[in-house]
């Protein structure tokens, strides 16, 4: 998958009820992040290490 046509995926724990979900895409050297309710909106790009650190902070909070 490339930057022009990434394959976005949502957690299997997410429901289809319009909740607060993000989608992730493997961008080879990075990870793309977007709001599942606004797929054409802004997107973030981060490293796998930064995403893992953020995930750990969220789990602790």
pLDDT tens, residue by residue, 3-55: 568 999 987 777 666 667 889 999 989 999 999 889 899 999 999 999 999 99
Q: What is the pLDDT of residue 23?
A: 93
Q: Which residues contact 37 (CB under 8 A, 6 or more apart)?
A: 18, 21
Structure confidence at residue 27 (pLDDT): 94
Domain borders along the chain are 8-60
pLDDT at 2 over 60: no
Say if residue 18 is exposed, middle or buried (CB neighbours under 10 Å; 0-12, 13-18, 19+): exposed
Tell me what pLDDT residue 50 has: 96
């Amino acid at each position: 998958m490339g930057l022009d046509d990434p394959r976005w995926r949502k957690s299997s724990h997410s429901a289809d009820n319009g909740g607060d979900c993000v989608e992730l895409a493997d961008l080879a050297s990075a990870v793309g992040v977007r709001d599942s309710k606004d797929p054409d909106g802004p997107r973030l790009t981060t490293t796998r290490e930064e995403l893992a650190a953020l995930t750990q902070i969220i789990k602790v909070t």
